[in-house]
Amino acid sequence: MNPKLQWLRNKMSSLDLQGLILTNPVNIRYLTNIDAEGILLLTRKDNIYITDARYIEAVHSTLTLYDEIIVYDIHDVSKEDYENFFMFCENVGFEEYDISYAKYKEYIRKYKIHNFVETEHIIEKQRMIKDEDEIRNIEKACEITDNCFSYLLNYIKPGMTEKQIANEIEDYYKQRTDGLSFDTIVASGENTSKPHAVPTDRKIQEKDIITIDMGCKVNGYCSDMTRTFFVGEVPEEIKPVYDLVLKNQVQTLESYKDGASTRLLTKMVENDFKLNNYDLIHSLGHGVGLEIHEPPYVSYSSDTQLRENMVVTDEPGIYIPGKFGVRIEDTVQITKFGCISLTKSEKNYIII
Amino acid sequence: MNPKLQWLRNKMSSLDLQGLILTNPVNIRYLTNIDAEGILLLTRKDNIYITDARYIEAVHSTLTLYDEIIVYDIHDVSKEDYENFFMFCENVGFEEYDISYAKYKEYIRKYKIHNFVETEHIIEKQRMIKDEDEIRNIEKACEITDNCFSYLLNYIKPGMTEKQIANEIEDYYKQRTDGLSFDTIVASGENTSKPHAVPTDRKIQEKDIITIDMGCKVNGYCSDMTRTFFVGEVPEEIKPVYDLVLKNQVQTLESYKDGASTRLLTKMVENDFKLNNYDLIHSLGHGVGLEIHEPPYVSYSSDTQLRENMVVTDEPGIYIPGKFGVRIEDTVQITKFGCISLTKSEKNYIII
């Protein structure tokens, strides 16, 4: 059996679950590599994936004998089959954050479930720690993101619109990867003051500040990087803000390691920003994996300890409404005694 | 108050609901035009939209006084506010197909709800009948789709890949609309035998058959059209299949009207296909609106009557594995005594 499913079966034993119904497609992909619409049942004896005719062929080509997963076409599953899957199971787990209330009721009836038990993000918690293959995919996505950024520094010229640059990034990724990991942010001039700016028809001007937040997917795994850079020169009023953001980004990198507290890390940046009369208005970082935002969250409200082989972002930012904003972000792998930045683009003043 | 919210308030009275929590973003957009992340509460007196700082500005610019919707930043809503929203409400409705089981439990606790009541798709059912504005948006999306198809007939040349054509369609739509309403299907040669083909690097060849299934969004409303056409000539073996599909597509158009049964309509096509030793392997059609697939479904398993101002597709298809497939699809407005095809591209043999 594949090691992730084996891990899950051990976990089920320890939780006294004799069966499990998984509906979250990201968790199913994590466990099986299947990228389709369907549900995964772990019964006493079997691992069963139920999908429909559209996906059967693709699912079969993804799986190997080694996975030990039986694939059913939903149209071939009878009322009796459903009732038999969890026969003699005292407790069957489900994903309470994913399944709708209507499905919850339907499943209890359809599978004749005795005790339907919430599983409190067991798989999401496991997904926080990446294995070698997962890290290799994220590394690759980060490398292509670095290359794309180098390309952009030569490509971007005054007169181009933010939208045009965003489209160029999308094309670059499409030719080399599974595509974007999120909608690219290209903000210029005062638009940089909005942390979640959507690309507009604004044209790049001489002496502009530009923020680009971008990432792609490789085998489903995401990268995430932000750089703030300048056309022609760095305006004097922006320098102290840029320096403060960069200092905190680098200090956070230096503090990221196995055992570090996400709350304390955030507090350090908040305090330094406050000393300079600025606020940290969003999280300092978030986990990156099959989803672009996933646990652990590096923020004051989440009190988690970083662990070896978590992959998280480090992205402090300062935004001055109506004027400008600066954010600098890397995707970072946590190690036993420190961390490795997987995105490696220049962070000192970048001038095009 | 806007007429859709007024309709919903009347509906609530008739269902003995004193409050309602809406979480489905498409239903919220339908009722309010808000396109953001948040939830809509209908309390005894007020309509309340709760969102976060990222969306506040955009939401305010969407709404008018006339909407009578109060907007809250979620960070400003206190424990007491939540408990007060539905005070003195005996029954509060929720969307059981949208809300997760975990949220269901959280809401009962947070809002101190006495009786949390399933609402059985009340809004989805209302969304099946389109008003003038909605039809105007779908018409516009269909018109641009027709124009895009005309453009393609000149653009496509042997040697181009399916992916290249799909990208051209995406660019065409991006410049004129809110973008694609679904991932474009461009299938050529034997790839046309897969109803849900994903564009590949296969190059268009002389004497190829090509199927393109495409649509865009205008103000959130979708279009959907499929045409199957030919390079240079129509191969003799394909002609009878094309003729049979077209005959059934046109006969269905002639039968679409207020009062028609979706089951009977489907049965007629199935029977005619069977007489010729083919099967109808997917639905004959589906509703089109804010979602590309929405009720009503035109299939044997759904026994609905078509009603004036429903907008549905008419899309019979025949697929011969490993050889070729033919599908012809229009987006259609149902009227009192017939229907109006909103996509109007040529359907007789199209040769490029």
Backbone angles phi, psi at B48, to 5 degrees: -125, 130
Half-sphere exposure for A54 (CA within 13 Å, toward CB): 9
User: What is the full DSSP assignment across B166-202?
Assistant: HHHHHHHHHHHSS-BSSPPEEEEGGGGGSTTPPP-SP
Task: Please give the residue of chain A at the shortest CA–CA distance from B164.
Answer: A175
Strand ranges (E), chain B: 19-22, 38-42, 47-51, 69-73, 91-94, 115-118, 185-188, 209-214, 217-218, 221-222, 225-230, 285-287, 294-298, 311-314, 317-320, 324-327, 330-334, 339-341
CB atoms within 10 A of CB A319: 20
Q: Which chain B positions have a beta carbon within 8 Å of A96's beta carbon?
A: 100-102, 105
3-state secondary structure of B213: strand
- Phi/psi for A324 (5° steps) reads -160, 170
Neighbouring CB atoms inside 10 A of B16's CB total 11
DSSP string, B37-76: SEEEEE-SS-EEEEE-HHHHHHHHHH--GGG-EEEEEGGG
| Candidates A96, A105, A196; nearest CB to B102 | A96
Q: What does the pLDDT profile of chain B (352 residues) look like in tens digits? A: 889 999 999 999 999 999 999 999 999 999 999 999 999 999 999 999 999 987 888 899 899 888 999 999 999 999 999 999 999 999 999 999 999 999 999 999 999 999 999 999 999 999 999 999 999 999 999 999 999 999 999 999 999 999 999 999 999 999 999 999 999 999 999 999 999 899 999 999 999 999 999 999 999 999 999 999 999 999 999 999 999 999 999 999 999 999 999 999 999 999 999 999 999 999 999 999 999 999 999 998 888 999 999 999 999 999 999 999 999 999 999 999 999 999 999 999 999 9
Enter the DSSP assignment of B28.
Answer: H
pLDDT (tens digit per residue) in B133-192: 999 999 999 999 999 999 999 999 999 999 999 999 999 999 999 999 999 999 999 999
Nearest CA in chain A to B54: A196
How far is Cα A338 from Cα B280, in angstroms, rounded to an integer? 60
CA of B288 to nearest chain A CA: how many angstroms apart? 21
Model confidence pLDDT, tens digit, residues A118-150: 999 999 999 999 999 999 999 999 999 999 999
Structure tokens at B285: 């059609």
Predicted TM-score (pTM) of the model is: 0.89
H helices of A256-340, where? 262-275
Are A116 and A311 in contact by the 8 Å Cβ rule? The answer is no
Residues, chain B, total? 352
Domains of chain B are 3-127 (3.40.350.10), 132-341 (3.90.230.10)
pLDDT of residue B73: 95
Chain B partners of A118 at a C-beta cutoff of 8 Å? Answer: 101-102
Across the interface, of B101, B174, B195, the residue whose CB is closest to A96 is B101
Taking only the tens place, the pLDDT of each residue in B202-218 is 999 999 999 999 999 99
> Which among B98, B105, B167 has CB closest to A100?
B98
Residue A223 per-residue DSSP state:
-
* ipTM score: 0.86
Q: Distance between CA B148 and CA B142 in Å, rounded?
A: 10
Angstrom distance (rounded) from CA A252 to CA B270 = 64
CB pairs under 8 A between A and B: 40
Q: Three-class SS of residue A339?
A: strand
Instruction: Identify the CA nearest to A19 among candidates A44, A47, A51, A1.
Output: A44
Q: What is the torsion angle, in degrees rounded to the nearest 10, for the CA atoms of residue B194, residue B199, residue B205 and residue B211?
A: 50
